[in-house]
Each structure stands twice: as structure tokens, then as C-alpha cells.
Amino acid sequence: METRLTQQQSQKLVLSPQMRQYLRLLQLPVANLEQAIDEEMSQNPLLEEKSTPQEELPQDGESQSKPEKTEEVSLGDSYDRIDEIDNYYDPSENRFEDRLADPSDLQKKKTFQDSLLTRPQALSDFLLWQIRFLDFSEDQKKIAEEIIGNINEDGYLSISCEELSESLHKTKENVEGILKSIQTLEPPGIAARNLQEALLLQLKKLISPSPLAENMVKEHLSLLEKQAYDQLSKIYAVDLETVKEAVHQISRLDPKPGRSFYSEEPIAIKPDASVFESDEDDAKWEIEIHEESLPRLRVNPYYRHLLRKKGTDEKTRAFIQIKLQKAQEFLQALLLRKSTLREITQEIVKHQDEFLRKGFGYLKPLRLKDISGALSIHESTVSRAVQNKYISTPQGTIPYKSFFSNRLDTLEGEEEVSQKSITHRIRHMIDSENPASPLSDQEIAEKLLQEGVKIARRTVAKYRDILKILPSHLRKHK
């Protein structure tokens, strides 16, 4: 072994600062984009918000010309245009403010409030707050915190006591003792290791739990799942009505104790774009990229004046030039982001006309690859553009990702059916089935075949699981 200096040639992709700026802004939804703009304005004194008509300083006898119309950067152009942004900037005119978005009514700014996007209390935080009231030593608190850290969103302990005792270097009995204390906390059934334990923990917390209900959960949970009430009646030598009363008590328990802490409460969503029918032609769609909440930016004319002024010292001039370059790059990246999102939205609308008019049952198969090929951009760019963004449509405000799904073959061999439209059909079939004789996965597959869609029984079962729908024998109501 020795230390030496060597030279090596290699090829690798290095993104320019301009491209990195563009990609960073592209993946931000409009709510986060506003924060990014505020941060950039705080770091760059040359950027300011235009809230009043432009008031330029004297331009040393130069005449003012009218600003150009709003322009968006076309994706058909080379990304090298970002490197040539100086061509778009004329010190005698404030063009960027006019090339940026085109909201006409500045009073629409901040139409949604960030305060609505509140973070709900997490299950782990709620449990950690409760253990403060338990008589635990510092050592026991550490064990309790480790246990709580391994409780999943359903409220179940996702690790065994053996693994916990190993990682904590404690005895299994010690860990199980702390676990039992945590299982007494709210919500009832928390920290259970399986469904059976979760139900038993909840039954014990009831004011008057049914002994029959406890026995059935302990000994015959599988028969309960199958709704074999006649068989349970014979096993426990009680009448059917008594069994049903015990079952009713069990049915009021929560199989997922942590469910009440799911972050599924309605939150304020600001769509990045809207699609609506054209007033002039019902067959056409209009697209609007939302930028009402974004400030209209411009380069501060005072600093441009300083840059042209002969008496400005070199340090100030160098500082202004650096900040001016960054401001131009930021403004150009904003323009390119808007153009990218618009062109991707246009392609989606072109493919999903039937969905926009009729609903999810008519969603056509569409892949990121299809969009990237149509726009001649990389697939990862499309993925960044649609990430965490929403679009307002006649079918509601939905994530951009909802438009993308894989293809399934039809009987004619054409790939014209999307996975999401199939899941929509499956849900509709199950919603309209006879509760006394629910459809099996095979029967659903046969019905889809009659509609011209080839799909295997196991694929139906997979989609049913995705929809969180029980199998037919558990959906049956006598």
C-alpha cells in the first residue's frame, strides 16, 4: 500500500447551476413555491415584488419602451436558453416582470391560508405524552420510548419482544412488563401484536364486557371471520340470539386502534392547474396554471442604476453583477417551470378527454414515458413536474399522479384499458352486488371478460386488496 497521484478520465453528467435551479423549482407544488420565492427574495436584494406600476429611475436620457407581452419558454427549445438569459435582459427595460406570470388581479394573492395546513397530532406523540403520567424510572422510559417508536400507524407493535430485548440489552420479561403498561393507554387496543390481542384489550376496557365475546375472540376468531354463527352457537351451547349479541359487541371494536390518528382529515389543497370547458367551444378544454398566490417579481431598478453609474466602486459593482445573474436565473427557471407544467397538462388533457367528461371508469392508460416521448424531455423531468401536485378538473381536485397507470390487454389485443379504470369497475360491481350472495373474484373476472377485458382471478384479488375490500366470504350478510 502506498500513496500516489493518478489521473483518470471518466464521463459523468454534471448539471449546470441554472438547470439545478430549474429542477428544484419544478418539483415544488405552488404552496411550497411561494415559500421558495420568499426565501430567494430575502437572500437577493435585487429581487423585489411588483405591487405598483413600474417606476424607473432616470435612464441617462434613454427613452422608455413599452414592455413586451407575457412569454413562456417552450419545451421545444433547448435548455441552453437558460444559459443565454442575458439575451432576455435589457438594463433599459424591466422585461422579466412582464415575462413572468400574467395574473391580472393582484388582490387574489394568497387566496389560501397556510394556517389551514395544520399538522395533526401523531400517535407516537400522544403515547409519549401519556407515559409521563406512568410511574416509570428513566431506564423504563427509554424502553417505553423504544416500544412506542415501533408501533405502526395501525396501532400494532411491529417488532417482537425478543428483538426489542436484544436491541435494548434488557430481559424479555422487563420489556413485556413495560409493554403491558403501554397497552393500558389510549386509544384502547394500542401496542397489540395481532388482531386477537387488539380485540381482547378493547373488550377488557369495556364497562360490561361479554364473557362469551372474549371466549370467541380467544378460541374461535376464524369462525367469527366466516360469520359461522350456527357453529358457534353449538360450540358454546347457547342460542343464536346470544351469539349475535356477543358478535355485535365485537363488531363495535376497532381492528386498527391507531386509525383515529391517520392524517386523512380534509386539508386545504391549492391546485397547481385547472382544466375546464371552453366557453367558446364545448369540445375544447381550457388550461390555467395557478399563480395567483405568487408575487410578481422584478429586478430592482435602483441596483441596475448603480451598475450603470460610473462612480460605483468595483466591489459594489461585482456584488450587483453576481446577484443580478442569480436573479435572472431564478426568474428564467420560474418561467420554464410554468411552461413545463402547462405542456405536461396539455398532453394529459389530450389523452384523458373521456375521463374529464365521464369519470374514472373512462381513464385511459398513460405512462410517464408517453408524456416524456411526446414532449422530448426526460422521464424523470415529468416525474418531478407531477410530484405532489394537484389539478382541478370537472371530476374534482385530484393528484396529477392519478392520471398515470399501466395498461391491460382487451380481447381485441389493444392496450386501451388502464388499471385504475379496472379498479373503478371492480368497486362499482362490489357496491352493487347482492349482500346475501357477494361476487367472488372469479365471478368478477368473468364479468370483466364479458366487457372485453382479459384479467386473471388473482389480479382481481390484488386490485380488491388495493381497494381494501374484503373477500366474498367475509362480505356475506345472512
Q: What is the CATH number of the domain that holds 195?
A: 1.10.10.1330
Residues 423 and 464 in one domain: yes
- Cα 285 to Cα 274: distance, rounded to the nearest angstrom: 10
In a domain, 253, yes or no: yes
449: number of Cβ within 10 Å: 12
Residue 151's domain spans which residues? 123-261
274 and 257 belong to one structural domain = no
Domain final residue, candidates 261, 284, 315: 261
Q: Which of 125, 154, 126 is nearest to 259 (CA)?
A: 154
Same domain, 205 and 292: no
Are 227 and 131 found together in one domain? yes
Do both 136 and 199 map to the same domain? yes
In a domain? residue 10: no
Q: Is residue 114 part of a domain?
A: no
- Which residue, among 246, 258, 335, 245, has the nearest Cα to 294 in the 3D structure? 335
- What does the pLDDT read at residue 96? 40
Q: Which residues of the chain fall short of a pLDDT of 50?
A: 52-118, 264-265, 413-415
Report yes or no: 18 and 83 within 8 Å, Cβ to Cβ: yes
pLDDT of residue 51: 63
In this structure, is residue 340 part of a structural domain?
yes
Contacts of 69 (CB under 8 A, 6+ apart): 98
In a domain, 368, yes or no: no
The answer to whether 9 and 323 have CB atoms below 8 angstroms apart is no
Is there a single domain that holds both residue 391 and residue 300?
yes
Q: Which CATH number goes with the domain that contains 451?
A: 1.10.10.60
Whether residues 133 and 253 fall in one domain = yes
Q: Is residue 334 part of a domain?
A: yes
Which of 212, 246, 261 is the C-terminal boundary of a domain? 261
Domain shared by 97 and 150, yes or no? no
322 part of a folded domain: yes
> How many distinct structural domains can be found in the chain?
3
Cβ neighbours of 130 (radius 10 Å): 16
